[in-house]
């Protein structure tokens, strides 16, 4: 990690490194991503107007490609041959596999055997992209075992592998580095908002799992005291242990995955089971930068539950023609709650971190859409 930190420290002061990164964001990711004002939804709600930052329109459909491209660039600069990581639902794995293919690096993704079966489509995507998918058949055969397995490989051969963490979590320099790669989201939205409305948003709202899309959305506004910054955690199905993943709301000081942060943990310091309808948010830790921003009182942390999230998912689909990721629908659900309580002169900027294609099966099963047409003719 010290070697990675030194390499990143050198790279971040090299204008050519960030120039190449910016070229990739433009040519591969398709940046800048647009702002979309939600006129129909806002009129329906009354009150403040909601505007989306469209990270769902990025290549591969979410914000994660912003930091996996940066990590792959650094790995190549360090002379590493292989990117390695674990993945749960497969979103980080696909974004990393994409970056590896683009940059001519090998990629190895460890996944719990249960997740390999559940996330068939993402497994196929990764393999099509030339990535080696390793199914981990031990213990609970899930994300935790995948982390251990990937890390063992990495520790055995650190000169070959670059361990690419998927959020603003883990040991230094990852929270700093992943944050830096994601700040493009806030810098773009700040410039776009100013040129379109001649003003900054009254609030910026983003979902918080590990916290990378939120750090990306918030960082450019930290010095703008009049802009409220709101992070939205998953309240899941209720307050009981295992029913939510509200680390900022209910976690205590601890150590997880090489970082001192807030953790949902038992008395012995073991991480507790968590739940969210959004698989990208069910993490018992959170990036340490969020803990600091809460201490400073700069960012408010709130939570929205599965039911409000499904409602937001449905409303955005029907009223605006946009099917959001369930993670992003947490941020939208909070904007939907807030808008009617605020004057119509205010504008709420919601970071739509990803698109919902990956969630269609799950939502269909939950709201009982699967298999049935609305009408049958013969």
Instruction: Give all strands (DSSP E) within the chain, no chain letters.
Output: 35-37, 49-54, 82-86, 106-112, 132-136, 161-163, 203-207, 228-236, 252-256, 259-263, 299-305, 347-352
The strand pair at 252-256 and 106-112 is best described as unpaired
358 in catalytic set: no
Contact 238, 228 (CB under 8 A): no
Do residues 150 and 166 touch, judged by C-beta distance below 8 A?
A: no
Count CB-CB contacts under 10 A for residue 45.
19
64 catalytic per annotation:
yes
Q: Applying CB under 6 A, does 64 fall inside the site for ligand PLP?
A: yes
Which residue's CB is nearer to ligand PLP, number 76 or number 143?
143
List 42, 55, 64, 233, catalytic entry: 64
| Dihedral of alpha carbons 346, 349, 350, 355, sign | positive
Min dist. Cβ of residue 69 to ligand PLP (A) = 15
Specify the stretch interacting with ligand PLP by CB under 6 A; choose among 32-40, 208-216, 238-246, 333-341: 208-216
* Three-class DSSP category at 151: helix
Nearer to ligand PLP, 203 or 208 (CB): 208
Distances (CA, A) of 346 to 42, 179, 197, 232, 316: 11, 28, 11, 19, 20
Minimal distance in Å, beta carbon 64 to ligand PLP?
6
CB-nearer residue toward ligand PLP: 35 or 350: 350
Site stretch for ligand PLP (CB under 6 A), options 132-140, 235-243, 311-319, 321-329: 321-329
Residue from 58, 60, 189, 212 that binds ligand PLP (CB under 6 A)? 212
For tokens 């049958």, the residue is 376
Q: How many CB atoms lie within 10 A of CB 89?
A: 21
- 62 forms part of the interface with ligand PLP (CB under 6 A): yes
Least separation, in Å, of the C-beta of 167 and ligand PLP? 3
Please, what sign has the CA dihedral across residues 20, 21, 27, 33? negative
Residue 353 annotated in active site: yes
| Contact flag: residue 93 with ligand PLP (CB under 6 A) | no
251 touching ligand PLP, by CB under 6 A: no
Distance CA 227, CA 80 (A): 41
- 354 part of the interface to ligand PLP, by CB under 6 A: yes
Q: Specify the stretch interacting with ligand PLP by CB under 6 A; choose among 69-77, 113-121, 131-139, 320-328.
A: 320-328
Binding to ligand PLP by residue 281, rule CB under 6 A?
yes
Binding test (CB under 6 A) with ligand PLP, winner from 42, 66, 119, 167? 167
Residues within the interface to ligand PLP (CB under 6 A): 62, 64, 91, 167, 207-213, 280-281, 325, 327-328, 353-354
Q: What are the catalytic residues? A: 64, 86, 353
């Amino acid at each position: 990690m010290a070697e990675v930190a030194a390499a990143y420290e050198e790279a971040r002061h090299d204008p050519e490194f960030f120039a190449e990164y910016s070229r990739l964001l433009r040519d591969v990711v398709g940046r800048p991503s647009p702002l979309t004002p939600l006129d129909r939804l806002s009129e329906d709600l009354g009150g403040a107007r909601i505007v989306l930052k469209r990270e769902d329109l990025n290549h591969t459909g979410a914000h994660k490609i912003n930091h996996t491209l940066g990590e792959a660039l650094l790995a190549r600069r360090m002379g590493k041959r292989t990117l390695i990581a674990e993945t749960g639902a497969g979103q980080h794995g696909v974004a990393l596999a994409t970056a590896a293919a683009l940059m001519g690096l090998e990629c190895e993704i460890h996944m719990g055997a249960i997740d390999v079966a559940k996330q068939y489509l993402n497994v196929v995507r990764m393999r099509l992209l030339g990535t080696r998918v390793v199914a981990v058949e031990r213990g609970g055969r899930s994300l935790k075992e995948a982390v251990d397995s990937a890390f063992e490989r990495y520790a055995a051969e650190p000169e070959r592998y670059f361990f690419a963490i998927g959020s603003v979590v883990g040991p230094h320099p990852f929270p700093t580095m992943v944050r830096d790669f994601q700040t493009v989201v806030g810098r773009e939205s700040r410039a776009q908002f100013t040129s379109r409305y001649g003003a900054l948003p009254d609030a910026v709202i983003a979902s918080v799992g590990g916290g990378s899309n939120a750090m990306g959305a918030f960082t450019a506004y930290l010095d703008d005291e009049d802009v409220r910054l709101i992070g939205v955690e998953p309240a899941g199905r209720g307050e009981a242990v295992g029913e939510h993943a509200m680390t900022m709301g209910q976690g205590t000081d601890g150590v997880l995955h090489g970082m001192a942060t807030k953790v949902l943990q038992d008395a012995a310091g073991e991480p507790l089971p968590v739940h969210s309808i959004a698989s990208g948010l069910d993490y018992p830790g959170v990036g340490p930068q969020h803990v600091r921003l809460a201490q400073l009182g700069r960012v408010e942390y709130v939570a929205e539950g599965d039911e409000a999230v499904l409602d937001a998912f449905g409303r955005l689909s029907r009223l605006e023609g946009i099917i959001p990721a369930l993670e992003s629908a947490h941020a939208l659900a909070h904007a939907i709650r807030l808008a009617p309580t605020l004057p119509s002169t205010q504008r709420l900027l919601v970071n739509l971190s990803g698109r919902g294609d990956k969630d269609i099966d799950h939502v269909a099963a939950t709201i009982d859409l699967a298999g049935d047409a609305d009408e049958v003719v013969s």
